[in-house]
Structure 1
Amino acid sequence: PLPPKRPLSSFFLFKQENHEKVKKQHPNARITQLISMMAEQWKKASIQEKQKYEGQYAEAKAKYEQELIEYQNKYGKIKSQKSKRNK
């Protein structure tokens, strides 16, 4: 079985939640433009709003770390994989 996946960062959680809303506001924008807009929104977001996503990330990270420990106890350490870029 595959090891557990790393959790999404707080920005990616924000992006995931706001993608459709931004896409509806800018239906003709390219994906790169949408991501730039969301990155700008993230920069301007209040500390309270960012804390919401950082809290979600912290919870997901704790769960991931626990799942990783359980996986390693059952299957051993995960072998590092070479990046596809270096091949």
Structure 2
Amino acid sequence: MKGAKSKSESKNSRLGVKKREAPAVKKAPAKKTKEAKDPNKPKRPASAFFVFMEDFRKQYKEKHPNNKSVSVVGKAGGDKWKSLSEAEKAPYVAKAEKRKSEYEKTLQAYNKKLAEGKDAEEEEEESDKSKSEVHDDEDDSAEDEAEDDDDDDDE
């Protein structure tokens, strides 16, 4: 067997090719979990464009009653908004600013109420803890007395 390779030679030839190790992948830092949104928080006001779109949608539906595509209405509204002059946009900008000022007032009231609520919750938790400690002692003694009474009934 002159031309035949031994098993050890074939293994060595395969091992001769070194495989490259995959570069160490750095893991991204864990993403912070988002806090749950408060449903009572006031919603942000609409911009001037969206105030315009409220009126534009009504007009567009009257002119094109068969159109059911939202994207077509949005594109037509965007084109119309771009073609308006500053004077034509002014009423929508004014409405948007009015809504924004109202939003800021309600947001301040909401934040104030939220801050007061947190302070009240912290005080309430402290008082609950002190109450539970006192009540636990009373409950234990009441349970002991009840067990003693039960033992007397059995005899």
Question: Could you say which TM-score interval applies, normalised by the shorter chain?
Answer: 0.7 to 0.9
Q: Give a deviation string over 1:46-73, Cα, whole Å, max 9, x none.
A: 2112111111111111110111011101
TM-score (norm 2): 0.46
Same amino acid, percent of matched pairs: 33
Structure number, greater radius of gyration: 2
> Unmatched 5+ residue regions in structure 2?
1-38, 116-155
TM-score (norm 1): 0.79
Q: Which 10-residue stretch deviates more, 13-22 or 27-36?
A: 27-36
Residue correspondences, number: 76
RMSD: 1.3
Q: 1:36 and 2:72 equivalent?
A: no
Structure 1 runs (4+) greater than 6 angstroms displaced: none
Pick 1 or 2: higher relative contact order, CA cutoff 8 A, min separation 6: 1
Q: 1:54 and 2:87 equivalent?
A: no
> Unmatched 5+ residue regions in structure 1?
77-87
Structure 1 CA distance, aligned partners of 2:92 and 2:77? 14
Q: Give a deviation string over 1:1-34, Cα, whole Å, max 9, x none.
A: 6011111111110000110211222233311011
